[in-house]
Amino acid sequence: MALEVDAGDAYIERALALNPNLAITWANSGLVKIWLGEHALAIDRLTHAMRLNPLDPLLYRVHGLLAYAHFFSAHDEQALSWAEKSFVAQPFFLPAAGIAAACYAKANRNADARRAVANMIQFEPAIRISNFPVLRSLLGRQEDIIRFSDELRKAGLSG
């Protein structure tokens, strides 16, 4: 998988060189940078995507990705702020609910963490840490997977 992500990252860089005004490409670059563990660069890329397309109806996804990038950069307040924006906009979008639950758990906001987990279970009753989509599609580094899984567990999501 790592080779595919590296190749994808190279293609995205080429696309940005060809058309630096395409917001979705900047957002996708941010997603890939999260996978690669380049969280500061992910924050820059995602912020640029929002500047290019501030009225994007899918902006909650960029907000969620920003939450993940800040979460793994240990910018806890920023992570929680972006997570809440994404979660409020789409409470049944699993990645948004997941990062909100993890951020709430990390901030010891246990009732909010349980509410986010309850939303996930309501939407996807079989959801567990072991089958959480973000763990397969967004996180490429073991330390990020462990950190996120630990906070989901603290939030009340079972293994």
pLDDT tens-digit readout, 77-86: 999 999 999 9
CB 95 within 8 A of CB 60: no
pTM reported for the whole predicted model = 0.93
With residues binned 3-state (H G I as helix, E B as strand, rest as coil), the percentages for the chain, rounded to 5, are: 75, 0, 25
Tens-digit pLDDT profile for residues 85-104: 999 999 888 999 999 999 99
Backbone angles phi, psi at 93, to 5 degrees: -85, 110
- Give CA–CA dist 86/99, Å, rounded: 9
Please, which pLDDT band fits residue 36 given cuts at 50, 70 and 90?
very high
| pLDDT of 148 higher than 70 | yes
Q: What is the pLDDT of residue 96?
A: 93
State CA 136 to chain mean position distance: 12
CA angle 59, 96, 118 (to 5 degrees): 145
Q: Which DSSP letter does residue 37 get?
A: T
Mean pLDDT, the chain, as a whole number?
A: 93
Which structure tokens are listed for 59? 């902006």
Q: Half-sphere exposure of residue 74, counting CA atoms within 13 Å on the CB side? A: 1
- Give CA–CA dist 148/97, Å, rounded: 13
Whats the size of the chain, residue-wise? 159
Which range (32-36, 119-123, 131-135, 149-153) has the least confidence? 131-135
CB 79 within 8 A of CB 99: yes
Domains of the chain (ranges plus CATH)?
Answer: 2-155 (1.25.40.10)
